[in-house]
């Protein structure tokens, strides 16, 4: 069983999310970065296209949930919800 693609996918998503955290520290926490590495490892074992779709899918799903709750004032009523444990 070759684990190389899984490790590479995990490192790729971990690195991308780490760059986001370093560029804008308040945007997300380090728990999101660690979760991205784990998810990237699993998706990398499947295929590189799964890594790309999974990485972008996280942002799309987060944007949909965030924009869906904002018209009714639910987003302003409570603190921001983290994407992963910190």
User: In the Cβ-directed half-sphere of 72, how many Cα atoms lie within 13 Å?
Assistant: 6
Can you give the pTM of this predicted structure?
0.74
Q: What is the mean pLDDT of each run of 10 residues along the chain (86 residues)?
A: 83 92 86 90 92 89 74 57 59
Joined together, the tokens standing for residue 66 give 């965030």
Residue 72 pLDDT = 60
Residue 78 pLDDT = 59
Joined together, the tokens standing for residue 55 give 């990485």
Residue environment code for 64-73, b if the CB has 16+ CB neighbours within 10 A, otherwise e: eeeeeeeeee
Task: For 2-21, give the DSSP string.
Answer: --HHHHHHHHHHHHHHHHHH
Q: Domain residue spans in the chain? A: 4-77
User: Are 17 and 54 contacting, i.e. CB atoms less than 8 angstroms apart?
Assistant: no
Q: How far apart are CA 13 and CA 72, in angstroms?
A: 33
Residue 40 pLDDT = 92
Residue 7 pLDDT = 92
């Amino acid at each position: 069983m070759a684990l190389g693609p899984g490790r590479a996918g995990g490192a790729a998503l971990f690195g991308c999310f780490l760059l986001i955290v370093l560029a804008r520290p308040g945007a997300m926490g380090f728990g999101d970065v660690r979760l991205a590495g784990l998810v990237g490892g699993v998706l990398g074992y499947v295929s590189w296209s799964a890594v790309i779709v999974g990485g972008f899918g996280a942002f799309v799903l987060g944007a949909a949930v965030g924009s869906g709750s904002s018209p009714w004032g639910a987003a302003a009523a409570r603190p921001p919800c983290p994407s992963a444990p910190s």
